[in-house]
Every structure is written in structure tokens, then in C-alpha cells.
Amino acid sequence: MRQIILDTETTGLEPAQGHRVIEVGCVELLNRRPTGRTFHRYLNPDRDIDEGALQVHGITREFLSTQPRFTDVATEFLEFVGGAELVIHNAAFDMGFLEAELKRLPGPPPPLAQVCSVLDTLALARQLHPGQRNGLDALCKRYGVDNSHRDLHGALLDAKILSEVYLAMTGGQGALTLGTAPSANGAKATGASGRRVREPVEIPIVRASAAELDAHERALDGIAKAAKGRCLFRELPNA
């Protein structure tokens, strides 16, 4: 199964108000394992960026003025995501912006939802953790995913973090090793397969005392008497 973990950054909150995509980041998973393939582009929106959005991602219009436009990368983007399941946190937001960008292209491009299926990890998290905070930062804390390097939002960075969160939410397979390496001081470790490896735990064995064994036998005598001489526990092997 091929999945694309996807995130975008935008000039604002509403594509209907003319806001545009300014960054797309994608991470490929194949059978729940990261392949190392990514798609990452900054995009020139030909418009100003809302102050609120700038505070979230820190991407300036000056920087974007030298970047390609969505129309320049659309074919490459569609080829990368085509036929995959898109895994997106709050999918309605990103899909709304991407569909708006596709509608601006010349000709009738197919809706993205016809090219790919979509899995919304926000909806999944709300099912798993109703009534709790289910933003990406909250999920990182809940599932032990290191996001300490996330000072500002970034499409590729957030897609990589979401990859770890999604895999942890749905079975824990295949970390992307975004955090620190394993250590002997309690840091999380991974084995050769990418699975997290738990440190072995010694389980203490507490044996019954002579007084406790005597009390146990008296209790069994009482059961046998009440059952007219039969105690099933004493008939079990090694009982």
C-alpha cells in the first residue's frame, strides 16, 4: 500500500478569499515503511501573506518571490501523489487549498479526491481520543514523538512528524528517526526493523510463606467439605 503523508502552508485561512498555497511537503510510505522519497516545494503566491499566517510559518513574500508558481510544479506534484492514499491532519483544510490551486490551472484537471483517497488523522485522533486535544503537538506528546525542533510550522517538517504520529496511532511501525539516537539513559530506542525496542523489565517473583500456604490449604478443605468431598482446584495438574 502506498501512502503520502502531506502538509501545506498557506498565505491565510480561506482559499475562497484568494489565499494560496506557499509550501507543499510530502513523505512517501510503502507498506507502512518510509521509502526516503519526498516532494517539497515552496511556491510564489503572487499575493501578500496574512500576518497571522506569517507568525505560524515564518515564510516571507520576499523569499517566495524567487520560487516557482503552483502551475510550474502541478504535473510533478500530481505524478508524485497519484494513486496513493493521502494522509493529512485536518484534511479539509489542505484539500480545500489544493483543489483551489488545481482549479486555477488551464484545462479541466481532475479533482484531487479522484486521483487519491484521503485519510484524515485529525478525525482518526478524535475517534481514538474523544474530548482531548488532538493537534499535532498534542499528539506528539501523547505518542512520544520528538518535535522539539519544530519552532515554526513547515510543510515537509510537519509531514515527517505526522508520519511518526500516524504510524504510532495505527500500530507503531516504522519510525522516521526524527529524534535523537537510542541511548542507555532511558531515551527511546529502535531496532533494525524500525520498531521501537522496549528495555527488558525484570518481573519479581513473590512466593507464598508457610503461613499463607497453610491458610490456603484450610480454605481448600472448606471448599471440599462444602462440595461433599470434591475440590476441583486440587484435581488440576500442579495445583
CA distances from 140 to 27, 101, 125, 145, 164 (A): 17, 30, 12, 5, 9
Q: In angstroms, rounded to a whole number, what is the distance separating the alpha carbons of residues 53 and 41?
A: 18
Q: How does the average pLDDT of the chain come out, rounded?
A: 84
Q: Would you place residue 216 in the very low, low, confident or very high pLDDT band (cuts 50, 70, 90)? A: confident
Domains contained in the chain, CATH given? 2-177+188-197 (3.30.420.10), 204-239 (no CATH)
Q: Which residues contact 110 (CB under 8 A, 6 or more apart)?
A: none
* Exposure b/e, 16-35, CB count within 10 A at least 16 = b: eeebbbbbbbbbbbeebebe
89-103, 116-130, 220-234: segment of lowest average pLDDT: 220-234
Task: Write the DSSP symbol of residue 110.
Answer: P
Catalytically active residues are 153
* pLDDT tens-digit map of 182-208: 333 334 444 444 444 455 555 566 667
**Grid coordinates given for 137:** 503537538
pLDDT value of position 200: 53
